[in-house]
């Protein structure tokens, strides 16, 4: 065992979260899966929970299950997610996709600021966020003020003003992993009279968020990354309690209506967060999300955050020593306090390297044009996986020189 | 065995689709489940297919599964549904909820008729359809022309004109089960220069539709009724090929963009039907839908239609003999050619009767204010279930007099 191997073995042995890896289905223990920030692993409890929903709740109880728990799923699982995000109950629901949730809340925000015609976001916000905002801006005749990637509070302050309706950013940047200053930026937006919409896809379940404490207005997030909800699992949305009855989302469906089974004429929004639902809840998807969320809650977001820092610190150190000499640049913040649970490595040959890593049992992902992301989902990633991933990448670089 | 029991036993014995009931999980064979039009039963093959998706595709292959079939699911299953609906490949995708699909397509239609400001629908269209149209009309400053329930072509003809942007109706009415004249109404709408958006939730998988033959513009539908896709399963949408590049849906997400993984600036719609996708495909949900759709395709929509007629004819005859004397009125068309696969019974005490039927092992549903729906999903409903359902209802009425 090399000195490095001994060192990571000691880190894994001392890891208070190490036992959580056994709570996930791991078919190939040697696989270095550094992509849990794109698709989180399968919790071991998920197949049994899905079998229960499918075989008993659907197969046996049939339509009666709507009255025996299904109708409450969006709110029940939403509240569990809210707890991870620092949101008091009654402000989060699970629904739709992240894209549709973004659309609903951004549209609601723009409608609430009819006299303002600017949206602030950044050029490297996740693509679907940018496209949703572009679509809404086009229809509203609004303008997007594009900030540089990963904007600082100062950059946001320089962009907002009396015309700003909405500031919409990702809390943890999907490419660099930078944690944006959610508190400061929210204050700056509010001081300008704008609303805020945060995308928590890369922070929910990996770093503390503190939505209520920061007085965030609106947020959305994805459940198939750090929350381990499964491929294409439904998303969540947050609307601060004091805004729920003042804003109005645009997709008026029966599940968001007051007393939906009255089938009455005329849409009237339900009270509270339920008004932000539209269609029939996707029961299978939400049930799977619940299992992942409960695991994250059991581990505790502070412990998860601490391990995320330790994993990315190790990756950063190894990248500096082993990869920098081969022209690989670190694309993430060097200060752990400013960095989420993934590390971006930049290399012009990134796409081919990603494929070659996979051939050697190291799964990372590539984000055009040059970014390799090492996603180090704390509940399922070992320090040994980090070592292996960086070492294999170093070997590939050495072979190609 | 009574004469009636002998008669239905003979009908079940002669039913060419009788064997399909064994393809579904039936926990309680005595339960008369007359609600497959609300939530279709669980296909026996679904748990194994879901286990494969969850345990192998997600658990073992992880992120690699996106390149090994998941990305194609919305179109692959969409094409299979399209075949049931008389739509050539490349015009149907599975996505979102019925509500969100309705919103996307109705918004696209209104945007394509910017000089027109009226929407035609009927007062008893399914609530989510009405609410979606109201929401869009409100934002557009458009007016809804409300027709009486279950409108005839003549009624539609009297309502459309140079101001009509969109005619949006359900093919089979959720309450009465009436089959609207899709061909004639589509022609009338087109003659007025309007687009058509049909909700196929109660016809997809129960009656032939013929979308291409009727030159329908847009359609949506639900997969958890006659397609047996599971609770809250994702919906489908149809956009006629020649409109796909001319219309534009409002929720611009990465999965609907050309070359989504380029992550490039600026939304450009993908070619063809893919432009109508928005967020990440809900893999578990679509996989379950595929099992249900394949079963319907295997049985054949013409055979399903023939059995649907036979089941509702029996229910109608028994209702006339046994229930009419107790003040129960038939709320569905008496002509089988105009009736889908459910029968509406009207009684002022409908809600309480629905609950009492359930206590005796007969599941129907109640739609306020007075409708009991007997949903006779042809693949899973026996003639004996119809007899039992109506007989128990008769007994309840006799006891309460």
Selecting among B79, B199, B365, B385, the annotated active-site residue is B199
Q: Answer yes or no: A373 catalytic.
A: yes
Task: Map chain A to HEC letters.
Answer: CCHHHHHHHHHHHHCCCHHHHHHECCCCCCCEECECCCCCCCECCHHHHHHHHHHHHHCCCHHHHHHHCHHHHHHHHHHHHHHHHCCCCCCEEEECCHHHHHHHHHHHHHHCCCCCCEEEEECCCCHHHHHHHHHHHHHHCCEEEEECCCCCHHHHHHHCCCCEEEEEEECECCCCCEECCHHHHHHHHHHCCCEEEEECCCCCCCCCCCCCCCCCCEEEECCCCCCCCCCCCCEEEEECHHHHCCCCCCCCCHHHECCHHHCCCCCCECCHHHHHCCCCCCHHHHHHHHHHHHHHHHHCHHHHHHHHHHHHHHHHHHHHHHHHHHCCEECCCCCHHHECCEEEEECCCHHHHHHHHHHCCEECEEECCCEEEEECCCCCCCHHHHHHHHHHHHHHHHHCC
Residue from the list B100, B255, B267 with its beta carbon closest to the beta carbon of A279: B100
CB-based contact (8 Å) between A42 and chain B?
Answer: yes
Residue B263: per-residue pLDDT = 82
Chain A residues with beta carbon closer than 8 angstroms to that of B27: 59-60
Which of A23, A62, A123, A275 to mutate to test binding with chain B, by most B CBs within 10 Å of its CB?
A62
**Alpha carbon of B254: minimum distance to chain A alpha carbons (Å):** 5
* B253 touches A: beta carbon within 8 Å: yes
Amino acid B366: pLDDT = 95
Q: What is the pLDDT of residues B11-61, one digit of tens each?
A: 999 999 999 999 999 999 999 999 999 999 999 999 999 999 999 999 999
Which residue of B55, B60, B127 is in closest CB contact with A47? B55
Residues B61-98 pLDDT 10s: 999 999 999 999 999 999 999 999 999 999 999 999 99
pLDDT single digits (tens) B113-142? 999 999 999 999 999 999 999 999 999 999
Residues in chain B closer than 8 A to A265 (CB atoms): 123, 130
Is residue B230 less than 8 Å (CB to CB) from chain A?
Answer: yes
pLDDT at A260: 87
The answer to whether A130 contacts chain B (CB < 8 Å) is yes
User: What is the per-residue pLDDT across A78-131, written as a single tens digit (0 to 9) for each?
Assistant: 999 999 999 999 999 999 999 999 999 999 999 999 999 999 999 999 999 999
- Using one digit for the tens of pLDDT, what is the confidence trace for A116-162? 999 999 999 999 999 999 999 999 999 999 999 999 999 999 999 99
Chain B residues within an 8 Å CB radius of A70: 231-232
Does the pLDDT at position A238 exceed 70? yes
* Interface with A, mutate which of B29, B36, B133, B253 (most A CBs under 10 A): B253
Contact A387, A4 (CB under 8 A): yes
Do the chains contact at A33 and B62, CB–CB below 8 Å?
yes
Q: Is residue B250 a contact partner of residue B105, using CB atoms and an 8 Å limit? A: no
pLDDT above 70 as % of chain A: 100
DSSP B155-183: HHHHH--TTEEEEEEESB-TTT-BB--HH
Contact (CB<8Å) A230/B27: no
Question: Are B98 and A63 a contacting pair at CB < 8 A?
Answer: no
Of B27, B250, B358, the CB nearest to A135: B250
Q: Do A285 and B280 touch (CB under 8 A)?
A: no
Hey, is the C-beta of A63 within 8 angstroms of any chain B C-beta?
yes
* Pairwise CB contact (< 8 Å): B265 & A42: no
Is there a catalytic annotation at residue A104? no
**Is the CB of B251 inside 8 Å of chain A's CB atoms?**
yes
pLDDT tens-digit profile of B167-180? 999 999 999 999 99
Kindly determine whether residue A96 and residue B279, on different chains, have CB atoms separated by under 8 Å: yes
Query: How large is the ipTM?
Result: 0.97
Please determine, for residue B262, whether its predicted confidence score (pLDDT) is greater than 90.
no
Interior/surface letters A32-57, b for 16+ CB within 10 angstroms, e for the rest: bbbbbbbbbbbbebbbebbeebbbeb
Instruction: List the single residue in A with minimal CA-CA distance to B278.
Output: A99
* A373 close to B (CB below 8 A): no
Dmax of chain B from CA atoms?
Answer: 72
Residue among A41, A100, A288 whose CB faces B100 most closely: A100
Q: Can B225 be counted among the known catalytic residues?
A: yes
* Cβ-based contacts of A284 with chain B (< 8 Å): 50, 230-233, 284-285, 288
Per CB-CB distance under 8 Å, the chain A contacts of B72 are none
3-class SS at B216? Answer: coil
Confidence category of residue B401, pLDDT binned at 50, 70, 90: low
CB contacts of B263 in chain A (<8 Å) are: 127, 367-368
Q: Is A225 on the interface with B (CB under 8 A)?
A: no
Q: pLDDT tens, B340-396?
A: 999 999 999 999 999 999 999 999 999 999 999 999 999 999 999 999 999 999 999
Of B20, B24, B33, B224, which one is the catalytic site residue? B224
Of B41, B225, B307, B339, the active-site residue reads B225
The mean per-residue pLDDT over the stretch B162-190 comes to: 98
Q: What pLDDT sits at residue A281?
A: 98
Active site residue B104: no
> CA-based angle A181:A187:A188, to the nearest 5?
85
Predicted local confidence at residue A401, as pLDDT: 63
How many A×B Cβ pairs under 8 Å? 253
Q: Bridge partners of A198?
A: A169, A219
Mean pLDDT of the residues in chain B: 97
Q: What pLDDT, in 10s, does the model give residues A14-58?
A: 999 999 999 999 999 999 999 999 999 999 999 999 999 999 999
State the Cα–Cα distance between residues A383 and A398, nearest whole angstrom: 23
pTM across the whole model? 0.98
CB < 8 Å to B222, chain A: 280
- Chain A touched by B277 (CB under 8 Å): no
Say what the pLDDT of residue A264 is: 86
CA distance A129 to chain B (A): 7
List the catalytic residue out of B41, B113, B373, B394. Answer: B373
Whether B135 sits inside 8 A of A62 (CB atoms) is: no
Cβ of residue B67 closer than 8 Å to a chain A Cβ: no
**Is B33 part of the annotated catalytic residue set?**
no
Give the nearest partner residue to B253 out of A99, A252, A267, using CB atoms. Answer: A99
User: Sign of the C-alpha dihedral, residues A280, A285, A288, A294?
Assistant: negative
Q: With an 8 Å Cβ cutoff, is B330 touching chain A?
A: no
DSSP letters spanning B310-367? HHHHHHHHHIIIIIGGGTPEE-S-SSGGGB-SEEEEE-TTHHHHHHHHHHTTEE-EEE
A30 token code pair: 């040697």
């Amino acid at each position: 065992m090399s000195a490095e191997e001994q060192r990571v073995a000691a880190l894994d042995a001392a890891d208070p979260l190490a036992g959580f890896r056994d709570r996930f289905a791991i078919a190939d223990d040697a696989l270095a899966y550094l992509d849990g920030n794109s698709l989180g692993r399968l919790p071991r409890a998920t197949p049994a929970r899905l079998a229960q929903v499918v075989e008993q709740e659907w197969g046996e109880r049939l339509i009666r299950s709507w009255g025996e728990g299904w109708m409450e799923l969006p709110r029940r699982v939403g509240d569990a997610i809210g707890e991870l995000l620092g949101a008091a109950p009654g402000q989060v629901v699970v629904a739709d996709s992240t894209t549709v949730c973004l659309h609903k809340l951004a549209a609601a925000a723009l409608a609430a600021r009819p006299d303002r015609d600017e949206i602030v976001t950044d050029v490297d916000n996740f693509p679907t966020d940018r496209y949703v905002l572009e679509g809404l801006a086009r229809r509203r005749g609004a303008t997007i003020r594009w900030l540089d990637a990963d904007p600082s509070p100062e950059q946001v302050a320089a962009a907002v003003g009396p015309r700003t309706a909405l500031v919409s950013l990702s809390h943890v940047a999907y490419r660099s992993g930078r944690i944006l200053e959610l508190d400061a930026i929210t204050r700056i937006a509010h001081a300008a009279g704008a609303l805020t919409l945060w995308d928590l896809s890369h922070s929910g379940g990996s770093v503390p968020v503190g939505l209520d404490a920061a007085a965030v207005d609106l947020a959305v997030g994805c459940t198939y990354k750090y929350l381990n909800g499964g491929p294409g699992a439904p998303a969540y949305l947050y609307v601060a309690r004091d805004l729920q009855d003042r804003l109005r989302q645009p997709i008026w469906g029966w599940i968001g209506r007051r007393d939906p089974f009255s089938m009455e004429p005329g849409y009237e929004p339900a009270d509270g967060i339920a008004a932000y639902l539209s269609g029939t809840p996707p029961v299978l998807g939400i049930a799977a999300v619940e299992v992942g969320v409960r695991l994250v809650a059991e581990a505790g977001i502070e412990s998860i955050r601490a391990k995320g820092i330790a994993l990315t610190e190790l990756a950063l150190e190894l990248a500096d020593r082993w990869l920098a000499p081969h022209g690989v640049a670190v694309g993430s913040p060097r200060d752990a306090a400013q960095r989420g649970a993934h590390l971006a490595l930049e290399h012009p040959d990134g796409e081919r390297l990603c494929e070659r890593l996979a051939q050697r049992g190291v799964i990372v992902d590539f984000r055009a044009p040059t970014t390799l992301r090492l996603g180090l989902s704390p509940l399922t990633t070992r320090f040994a996986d980090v070592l292996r991933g960086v070492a294999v990448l170093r070997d590939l670089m050495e072979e190609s020189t």
